[in-house]
């Protein structure tokens, strides 16, 4: 069966520091991968998605970037964090073909102080 991992689970970082969040998927190949941010425990905002290694699409202009160095690895990064980057970051995957639902990881709670 497929599983999705995110780490770290929680992170507290000072303003201006760098960020690296990692997401990995097991049990599937060539998935679509997604990064979302959830603010204040409510709506989801799609940040990036990827349909293959090295292929990244950005949904909103922001202080963050994403990379996909391997088929089942998706990384969210920032060179300098802002207070507004605080939130709950969720990674998700979807089969490239067939099933349409996305499956979510456990999330990373980021607090920028």
Partner 1 sequence: AQSVAQPEDQVNVAEGNPLTVKCTYSVSGNPYLFWYVQYPNRGLQFLLKYITGDNLVKGSYGFEAEFNKSQTSFHLKKPSALVSDSALYFCAVRDMRRSGGYNKLIFGAGTRLAVHP
Positions that interact with partner 1 (CB under 8 A): 6, 32, 34, 41-44, 46, 49, 51, 57, 88, 90, 92, 94, 96, 100-107, 109
Q: Are 46 and 31 in contact (CB under 8 A)?
A: no
At its nearest, how many Å lie between partner 1 and the CB of residue 105? 5
Which residues lie below 8 Å from residue 106, measured CB to CB, with a gap of 6+? 5, 6, 9
**For residues 53 and 107, which CB has a smaller minimum distance to partner 1 in the complex?**
107
At its nearest, how many Å lie between partner 1 and the CB of residue 65? 19
**For residues 18 and 26, which CB has a smaller minimum distance to partner 1 in the complex?**
26
**For residues 18 and 106, which CB has a smaller minimum distance to partner 1 in the complex?**
106
At its nearest, how many Å lie between partner 1 and the CB of residue 13? 18
Q: Are strands 55-58 and 19-26 parallel, antiparallel or unpaired?
A: unpaired
């Amino acid at each position: 069966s497929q599983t999705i991992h995110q780490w770290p689970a929680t992170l507290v970082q000072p303003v201006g520091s760098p960020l690296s969040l990692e997401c990995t998927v097991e049990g599937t190949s060539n998935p679509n991968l997604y990064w979302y941010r959830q603010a204040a425990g409510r709506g989801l905002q799609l940040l990036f998605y990827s349909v293959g290694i090295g292929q990244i699409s950005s949904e909103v202009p922001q202080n963050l970037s994403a990379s996909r160095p391997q088929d089942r690895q998706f990384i969210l990064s920032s060179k300098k964090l802002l207070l507004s980057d605080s939130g709950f970051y969720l990674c998700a995957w979807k089969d490239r073909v067939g099933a349409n639902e996305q499956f979510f990881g456990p999330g990373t709670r980021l607090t920028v102080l």
